[in-house]
Structure 1
Amino acid sequence: MDVRKVSRLLLGLALIPLLSEAAGKCERLIVTGSPDAPPYLWRDPANPTHLIGASADLLQHAAEELGIKVEVLYAGKRSQAQDEVRTGRMDMLLDAPLTLAGLNSLDYIHPPLVRNDYLVWTRKDSALHYETPADLHGHTGALSEKARLTESFDAFAQRQLTLKPQPGLTQAFQKLLLGQVEYVLAGRYAGMATAQTLGIADDLQAHSQPIDQPGLFLAVSHDSACNEPWLRGQLAKKMTELPASG
């Protein structure tokens, strides 16, 4: 074999990893998530088959820089959306809580897309003094059934706190204003949005020290055709860069 043939062979072998990587890059992601979690995610009133919100905007921004097309679609309530991704019918969840069970079917992208500060909300005229979770012992609170706490805090709350589950944050805040509970556990921005919508922002106080900080992660289905190292690595890089860039 002459030198030129050897050179072409070596060049071809060197290009194989690059060609494989290019071929493996995902060009389109079908994404879903919870349809009732403003300001992060909710159904688009103008196009109810799609979801909009801060989380969708962040992913669209990251994906555009990677040259990937993204569709954020409504797949039903939260449990239905999770099933669509677990089974691989959709590629990714936008707002997956990190759980041991989830690791069986999902690859989580670190760091989280959003870290959701859960605060203690009281009426402004409340005598309840809150600095640590221990201060809530002996007091009755409320929590939306849609809340997604960390597994460790959820276990603590079930053992140590008295919380009345409510269908949603609106009902929890109504219980608080009526004096039927002494505090509400709610996400910082979800609480702000709900209080403003209900016109009760001036009646409530959100204590600044978070009681829990669950992360909401991008999570790719094990069965997604797009679940490959290049995509996971690039998304992890973008999730690291976005907070630093503001």
Structure 2
Amino acid sequence: MRAVFCAFLLIFLSLSVRAECTALTASGNAEYPPYLWRASHNSDALDGAITRLMTTLGERIGIPVQMQFVGPWGRTQEEVANGNIDLIAGAFYTQARSERMDYIRPAFQETRSVLWVRNDNVFAYSRLDDLVGKRGVTVINNSFGQAFDEFAKAHLEILQVGGLEQALRMISNGRVDYLVYEEQPGLAYIERARIDNLQMLDVPVSSEALYLTMSCKSACNTPALKERISAELELMRQEGLMDQYLELARGQWQGQ
């Protein structure tokens, strides 16, 4: 169904009179250091490793990629799905997203989503069933992979709050039993806030790939452009650019 939907949109766009794609807009989760974060509270700019990667991608394909802050993560996904922004730079695969966006392969990063617990409330975790009966928290509109999302919806009690800082306060103050979030962003916030009563459990809840997605409604969504982007992402993956950019971004985030 998604493929048919996108195909009809592309046919419609191809019949429309429009200028050649000369620029791409992109956004992502702005509470996602060292991958992405808002440059300042009153800025529309995004800093981080993904911004560096998108800048390099734009240079290589000859079409600049402009990273923009457009609001909370939920709104960002809607802006891309509606075609107001061309790309999400950093999204896990979910069926719902795939019906409104094209996933460009290969993935540019592999990530782990993990559990944080208070030092005085550590519990054994080896599988999702171990979370049944406990109270968790995460950030609204976050996905931790299709398998986890489906299990959580059916069996777990996980509160969804507006931002990671709020979620960290809730777990640190003992209002919930665990926080589920991605490893690198969670560590970045915890270290900078100097929260010392939390620890990360060893076993991840999921390991997922981060993709670049293009809106089915984007005027730049053409097979030729997606092939060019895919080829450059593969070259950058082979060169290990994302690891280099992550190291630079960690230092930048901690120094703010």
Please tell me the TM-score bracket, short chain as reference: 0.7 to 0.9
Matched, 1:205 2:199: yes
The residue identity in structure 2 corresponding to 1:39 is P
Single out whichever of 93-102 and 53-62 deviates more from structure 2. Answer: 93-102
Task: After superposition, give the CA deviation of every residue in 1:142-199 in whole Å (9 maximum; x if it has no partner).
Answer: 2222532223311201223232333332233323233332221111011101111221
Task: After superposition, give the CA deviation of every residue in 1:195-221 in whole Å (9 maximum; x if it has no partner).
Answer: 112211x43221232202343321112
Task: After superposition, give the CA deviation of every residue in 1:67-110 in whole Å (9 maximum; x if it has no partner).
Answer: 22121122233343333333333322213343333333321102
Note if contact 1:41-1:54 (Cα within 8 Å) is conserved in structure 2.
Answer: yes
Secondary structure in 1 matching 2:189:
helix
Q: 1:108-147 to 2 correspondence within 5 Å?
A: 108-147=103-142
Matched, 1:238 2:232: yes
Alpha carbons of structure 1 residues 132 and 46: separation in structure 2 relative to 1, 3 Å: closer
CA distance in 1, matches of 2:225, 2:236: 16
Note if contact 1:25-1:231 (Cα within 8 Å) is conserved in structure 2.
Answer: no
Note if contact 2:116-2:198 (Cα within 8 Å) is conserved in structure 1.
Answer: yes
Q: Which residue of 2 aligns with 1:162?
A: 157
The residue identity in structure 2 corresponding to 1:37 is Y
CA distance in 2, matches of 1:157, 1:208: 20
Alpha carbons of structure 1 residues 66 and 119: separation in structure 2 relative to 1, 3 Å: same
Alpha carbons of structure 1 residues 181 and 102: separation in structure 2 relative to 1, 3 Å: closer
CA distance in 1, matches of 2:133, 2:41: 46
Give the TM-score normalised by the residue count of structure 2.
0.75
Single out whichever of 37-46 and 231-240 deviates more from structure 2. Answer: 37-46
Which of 139, 142, 149 is the matching residue for 2:144? 149
Task: After superposition, give the CA deviation of every residue in 1:17-74 in whole Å (9 maximum; x if it has no partner).
Answer: xxxxxxx984421222333333322222297122222212112122212222121122
Q: Which residue of 1 aligns with 2:87?
A: 92
Secondary structure in 2 matching 1:179:
coil
Say which one has the larger Rg: 1
Note if contact 2:107-2:211 (Cα within 8 Å) is conserved in structure 1.
Answer: yes
Note if contact 1:128-1:182 (Cα within 8 Å) is conserved in structure 2.
Answer: no
Note if contact 2:92-2:209 (Cα within 8 Å) is conserved in structure 1.
Answer: yes
The residue identity in structure 1 corresponding to 2:209 is G
Q: What is the Cα deviation at residue 235 of structure 1?
A: 1.8
The residue identity in structure 2 corresponding to 1:175 is M
Q: What is the Cα deviation at residue 120 of structure 1?
A: 1.2
Higher RCO structure, 1 or 2 (CA under 8 Å, sep 6+): 2
Q: Which residue of 1 aligns with 2:55?
A: 60
Which of 175, 185, 188 is the matching residue for 1:180? 175
Alpha carbons of structure 1 residues 61 and 46: separation in structure 2 relative to 1, 3 Å: farther
Note if contact 2:106-2:211 (Cα within 8 Å) is conserved in structure 1.
Answer: yes
Consecutive unaligned residues of structure 1, counting only runs of 5 or more, are: 1-23
The residue identity in structure 2 corresponding to 1:55 is I
Give the TM-score normalised by the residue count of structure 1.
0.77
The residue identity in structure 1 corresponding to 2:225 is L
Alpha carbons of structure 1 residues 241 and 203: separation in structure 2 relative to 1, 3 Å: farther
CA distance in 2, matches of 1:31, 1:166: 24
The residue identity in structure 2 corresponding to 1:207 is L
Alpha carbons of structure 1 residues 208 and 238: separation in structure 2 relative to 1, 3 Å: farther
The Cα RMSD (Å) is 2.6
Q: Which residue of 2 aligns with 1:10?
A: none
